[in-house]
Amino acid sequence: MFKKTKIAGIGFYVPQNVVKNDDLKEVIDTTDEWIQERTGIKERRYVQRFKENTTTMAVEASKIAIERAGISANDIDFIIFATLSPDYFFPGCGVLLQRELGIKNNCGALDIRNQCSAFVYGLSVADQFIKTGMYKNILLVGSETHSAGLDFSTRGRNVSVIFGDGAGAVVLQPTEKQNQGILSTHLHSEGLHAEKLAFLHLGGHSGVFTGDQTDFQSSGKWGSLFVTQEMIDNGTAFPIMDGPFVFKNAVVRFPQVIMEALDANNKKLSDINMLIPHQANLRIAQFIQEKLGLSENQVYNNIQKYGNTTAASVPIALCEAWELGKIKDGDLVCLAAFGSGFTWGSALIEW
């Protein structure tokens, strides 16, 4: 019988350190009103420096998901770890998570870099593995530590006030139930606008080098991986974002990819019980809700409490909505994300 992929367990973790908008006024020329008006965010969570990181948060979220799935860590036969803020440049966080969970079966670990869309991308990858029978218990995690790499100055306020730290995880398993599981996933990209939301400085060279490697090496731009004072002073050590441009693209791509998922499964907007959009900006989510004619009960947002946690935002919101009883067995759940790359995607799930 044809197998589908179900979410067997889900969990999330956010640090205890709550940072309110008024707290940011101490270091950035901003106000609570300014931040809420533009983003809808009231507070976010930051890790305890030197005590928590991307992997440790992933561990806590994973433990909850594994327990709720009714399995042990050693039952996990594949890990997919989504993050733009790994603890090391290499190796990736997937192997660190495998180590910290004490998984002894030498399972595979895959790290993916699709930023805001990463959880949906990871879900699509896992779905293929489950459907083909290659794996039976996949741990998919999105975890981010943004607070360690933001520009806490007035220059960087348009970006820094948006992001928070946290992790979300799911355990994915096969199911033969006809009315349960992932119905379809849909993935897209448009690299034309890659630099509109990006961290451009890597290896001492900003931008894309178009000459040959010999010229590059002799040019003195080969550089190093270390952050210099010059990079901090000129802002290239921090992420950049063209907010209005990102907004204009997001409000087009979100509805497109949501409708793509519905059309692929002969579903209507009224069939959606819960839409979980990537928590990029509350204004984006509200625009999409109004454009699609969805009710308040059909959309869940929690960016007000956690900010934008990038790869972690969809699983955190999905888990919280489920814990609050807003997602029940048999519900039609749509996940959608748009972000840096540009990348965007959706998944339609029968819960």
Whether cis (ω within 30° of 0) applies to the bond prior to 163 is: no
Among residues 107, 116, 319, 334, the one annotated as catalytic is 116
| C-alpha separations of 184 from 4, 114, 335 in Å | 10, 19, 11
Q: Measured between alpha carbons, how far is 254 from 140 in angstroms, rounded to an integer?
A: 23
Q: Measured between alpha carbons, how far is 166 from 11 in angstroms, rounded to an integer?
A: 11
Go through the chain and tell me how many residues it has.
351
DSSP letter at 73 equals: G
Nearest to 116 by CA among 157, 147, 166, 82: 82
Q: Which residues pair with 5 in a beta bridge?
A: 174
Nearest to 105 by CA among 129, 137, 130: 137
Q: Measured between alpha carbons, how far is 30 from 96 in angstroms, rounded to an integer?
A: 37
Is 319 one of the catalytic residues? no
Instruction: Give residues with Cβ within 8 angstroms of 259, minimum separation 6.
Output: none
Which residue pairs from 263-271 have beta carbons closer than 8 angstroms and sit at least 24 positions apart in sequence? 264/183, 264/184, 264/186, 264/348, 265/183, 265/184, 265/348, 267/332, 267/348, 269/293, 269/294, 271/332
Q: Measured between alpha carbons, how far is 12 from 67 in angstroms, rounded to an integer?
A: 12
Among residues 278, 281, 319, 334, the one annotated as catalytic is 278
Q: Measured between alpha carbons, how far is 47 from 272 in angstroms, rounded to an integer?
A: 35
Residue whose pair of structure tokens reads 């996933």 in the numeric block: 185
Q: Measured between alpha carbons, how far is 319 from 326 in angstroms, rounded to an integer?
A: 10
Q: Measured between alpha carbons, how far is 219 from 223 in angstroms, rounded to an integer?
A: 10
Is 205 one of the catalytic residues? no
In a 3-state reduction of DSSP, which class is residue 72?
Answer: coil
Residue whose pair of structure tokens reads 């840096």 in the numeric block: 340
Is 334 one of the catalytic residues? no
Among residues 137, 249, 302, 308, the one annotated as catalytic is 308
Kindly list the catalytic residues.
116, 278, 308
